[in-house]
Copies of this chain bind each other. A is one copy, B any other.
Amino acid sequence: MKRSTKTEESAAPATAPELDAKDREILRHLQEHARISVTEIAARVHLSPTPVHERIRRLEESGVIRQYATLLDAQKLDQGLMVICYVSLKQHDKKAGLKFIQAINGLNEVVECYSISGEFDFMLKVRAKDMAGFYDFHVNRLSQVENLGHVQSVFVMGVIKDTHKIIF
């Protein structure tokens, strides 16, 4: 194995990133085309492959690059339903919160989870095949989570924009 694998590697050390203009250019290319070659990135940023290679290595190590991911079409994989679930907990102490976080990490249907301001404690982005699949998740998996208070669901009817692109 020679080419970079990334992910599941060591946790990102908090070493100061200190990104210069070239680093940012490289990141902008990689952000949208993770599989292009170092040689091509080098050509686009007007550098030779060697320093680009070294810069990418540093960006991976410092954790600026989190993961090289392939984004798939959920519809074509029969996982076309997306639901936003708002969840409140019964108890809000630290221990109860950690247990909830653990439980959420065990639910594969939950692709994102955020701690939020407002009436509810958490927001979950859930993927399912269809309404029946979501119902099954709701009743048999989410509702089984300990310390769960209220759940309120908002259904996604259409995707207007779905990007991961960070502007910087």
Contact = CB atoms under 8 A, between A and B. Distances in A.
Interface of A: 1-7, 12, 17, 19, 27, 30-37, 40, 62-74, 76-79, 82, 84, 101, 104-105, 108-118, 122-123, 127, 154-168
Given A37-B3, A157-B117, A72 B79 contact: no
Nearest to A111: B163
Contacts of A115: 156-160
B111 A161 contact: yes
Contact of A168 (B31, B37, B77): B77
Contacts of A34: 34-35, 68-70
A29 B5 CA distance: 11
